């Protein structure tokens, strides 16, 4: 039998991104070492991010997408640092990769871990586990719009930021959500919009949802407005399984979900190009956390959980399940970083996960 070698592009980028990507790489290499030569990871690390911007005027190399195109997957940290405006750093690197590689489905599990105190008391006696599926190619983050200063003069500037909804874009993310629901214990998809106030794009979304739902009679559905859904996250999370929402709404709701589970540092995510024409990208949900960067305090669980999603995507489903169990064993044993009430460092948690793998 020949060894499978996965070529992975690592982009730690800024702040705690470097710490948590290093943690995830260590865990993945430990898994590969324990695979008795079945598989290995061939890493290439790219120095892109805000420091690179300071040196070169670019967040990533001009031919960056061309370089990344042939990797099996991208393992990403977090982008953003106070030295560069956030819209410049985000658009110059992360959104460029997501949109350039048509990673149109962003999968963000909200997973409540043993040993982590949730601010939600319900979590103690109810199993809570749902997935936010984020439309990741259009919607409010389509980059359409402009600013016009000159036409109206200083002090009267106007800006337009448009949201783009296409029938194709809505349909593919909804089919993805329904297919995912069929793999889960609770077969249910909740669609989120604000179609009462936004009568074009979001009404199109609602209509496509109704049409697609008809093809999945075995899957329960509901349509909930985003404000009501944020309340539902807190009040009735046991009623959620797959939540499908636009780029902006899902971005906000997934932060809410991970905070409910205990910390932003726990949340993982996959930016998928389901057709596999381009590499998919795996990253923690959190940002570069400048307030704790460089101190060894970053919770690596979000990044390690993202590594588990990457294993699943690469077809290593047994290893993905093993890694998820090792994460649960680690938090269950009380090895926790300060954001979830513990005293462990990034390295302590990483080492404990590796211990539980074997
Ligand atoms: P953030 O996620 O970096 O931090 C929010 C809070 O969560 C902070 O108190 C931070 O200490 C804490 N936190 C985040 N990750 C943690 C971890 N692994 N362990 C423990 N605590 C953690 O969001 P913020 O402060 O709004 O943004 C900081 C920078 O990150 C900005 O430049 C922003 O644009 C960027 N950002 C990048 C994202 C990405 O690359 N996907 C996502 C969100 C923000
Ligand atoms: Mg976000």
Report yes or no: 195 and 206 within 8 Å, Cβ to Cβ. yes
The pLDDT value given to residue 358: 80
Mean pLDDT over 24-34 rounds to: 97
Q: Kindly indicate the confidence band of residue 346, based on its pLDDT and cuts at 50, 70 and 90.
A: very high
Distance 119 CA to ligand 1 centre (A): 19
Query: Is pLDDT above 90 for 166?
Result: yes
∠ CA(273), CA(104), CA(184), 5° rounding? 80
Mean pLDDT over 101-130 rounds to: 87
The pLDDT value given to residue 119: 81
- Ligand 1 atom nearest 300 alpha carbon: 18
What is the overall mean pLDDT for the chain? 95
User: Using CA positions, which residue lies closest to atom 40 of ligand 1?
Assistant: 78
The pLDDT value given to residue 148: 83
ipTM: 0.96
The pLDDT value given to residue 120: 82
The pLDDT value given to residue 156: 83
- Ligand 1 atom nearest 19 alpha carbon: 18
Mean pLDDT over 246-255 rounds to: 96
Mean pLDDT over 98-127 rounds to: 88
The pLDDT value given to residue 118: 84
- The preferred substitution site among 53, 288, 295 for testing ligand 1, maximizing ligand atoms within 8 Å of CB, is 288
Query: Is pLDDT above 80 for 125?
Result: no
Residues with CB under 6 A from ligand 1: 16, 20, 78-80, 86, 90, 94, 263-265, 283, 286-292, 298-299, 302, 337, 339
- Domains in the chain, CATH or no CATH each: 1-108+264-358 (3.40.718.10), 118-261 (3.40.718.10)
Query: Is pLDDT above 90 for 182?
Result: yes
- The preferred substitution site among 13, 15, 78, 307 for testing ligand 1, maximizing ligand atoms within 8 Å of CB, is 78
Q: Kindly indicate the confidence band of residue 1, based on its pLDDT and cuts at 50, 70 and 90.
A: low
Note the pLDDT tens digit of each residue in 35-90: 999 999 999 999 999 999 999 999 999 999 999 999 999 999 999 999 999 999 99
Q: Kindly indicate the confidence band of residue 126, based on its pLDDT and cuts at 50, 70 and 90.
A: confident
Query: Residues of the chain with pLDDT > 90: what percent?
Result: 90
Q: How much is the pTM?
A: 0.93
Note the pLDDT tens digit of each residue in 233-245: 999 999 999 999 9
HEC letters along the chain: CCCEEEEEEEEEECCHHHHHHHHHHHHHHHHHHCCCCCEEEEEEECCCCHHHHHHHCCCCCCCHHHHHCCCCEEEEEECCCCCCCHHHHHHHHHHHHHHHCCCCEEEEEEECCCCCCCCCHHHHCCCCEEEEEEECCCEEEEEEEEEECCCCCCCCCEEEEEEECCHHHHHHHHHHHHHHHCCCCCCEEEEEECCCCCCCHHHHHHHHHHHHHCCCCCCEEEEEEHHHHHHHHHHCHHHCCEEEECHHHHHHHHHHHHHHHCCHHHCEEEEECCCCCCCEEEEECCCCCCCCCCCCCCCCHHHHHHHHHHHHHCCCHHHHHHHHHHHHHHHHCCCCCHHHCCCCCHHHHHHHHHHHHC
User: Using CA positions, which residue lies closest to atom 32 of ligand 1?
Assistant: 80
Note the pLDDT tens digit of each residue in 269-299: 999 999 999 999 999 999 999 999 999 999 9
More confident residue, 225 or 127: 225
Catalytic residues, which ones?
A: 141, 194, 227, 251, 255
- Ligand 1 atom nearest 13 alpha carbon: 40
Distance 288 CA to ligand 1 centre (A): 5
The pLDDT value given to residue 258: 92
Distance 5 CA to ligand 2 centre (A): 32
């Amino acid at each position: 039998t020949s060894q499978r070698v996965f070529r992975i592009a690592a982009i730690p980028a800024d702040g705690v991104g470097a710490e948590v990507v290093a943690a995830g790489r260590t865990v993945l290499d430990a898994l590969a070492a324990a695979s008795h030569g079945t598989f290995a990871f061939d890493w290439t690390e790219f120095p892109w991010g805000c420091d690179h911007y300071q040196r070169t005027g670019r967040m990533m190399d001009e031919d960056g997408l061309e370089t990344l195109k042939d990797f099996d997957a991208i393992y990403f940290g977090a982008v953003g640092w106070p030295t560069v405006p956030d819209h410049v750093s985000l658009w110059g690197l992360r959104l460029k990769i997501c949109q350039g590689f048509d990673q149109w489905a962003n999968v963000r599990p909200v997973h409540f871990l043993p040993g982590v105190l949730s601010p939600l008391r319900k979590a103690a006696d109810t199993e809570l586990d749902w997935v936010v599926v984020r439309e990741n190619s259009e919607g409010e983050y389509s980059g359409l719009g402009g600013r016009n200063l000159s036409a109206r003069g200083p002090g009267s500037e106007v800006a337009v930021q448009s949201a783009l909804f296409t029938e194709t874009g809505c349909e593919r993310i909804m089919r993805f959500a329904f297919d995912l629901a069929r793999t889960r214990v609770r077969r249910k998809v909740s669609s989120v919009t604000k179609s009462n106030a936004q009568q074009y794009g979001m009404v199109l979304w609602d209509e496509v949802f109704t049409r697609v739902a008809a093809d999945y009679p075995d899957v329960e559905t509901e349509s909930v407005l985003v404000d009501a859904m944020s309340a539902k996250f807190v009040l009735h999370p046991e009623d959620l399984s797959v939540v499908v929402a636009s780029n902006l709404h899902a971005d906000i709701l997934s932060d809410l979900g991970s905070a409910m589970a205990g910390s932003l540092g726990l949340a993982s995510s996959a930016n998928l190009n389901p057709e596999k024409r381009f590499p998919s990208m795996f990253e923690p949900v959190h940002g570069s956390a400048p307030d704790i960067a460089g101190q060894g305090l970053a919770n690596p669980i979000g990044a390690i959980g993202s590594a588990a999603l990457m294993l699943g995507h690469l077809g290593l489903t047994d290893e993905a399940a093993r890694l998820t169990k090792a994460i649960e064993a680690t938090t269950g044993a009380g090895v926790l970083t300060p954001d979830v009430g513990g005293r462990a460092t990034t390295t302590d948690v990483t080492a404990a996960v590796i211990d539980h793998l074997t």
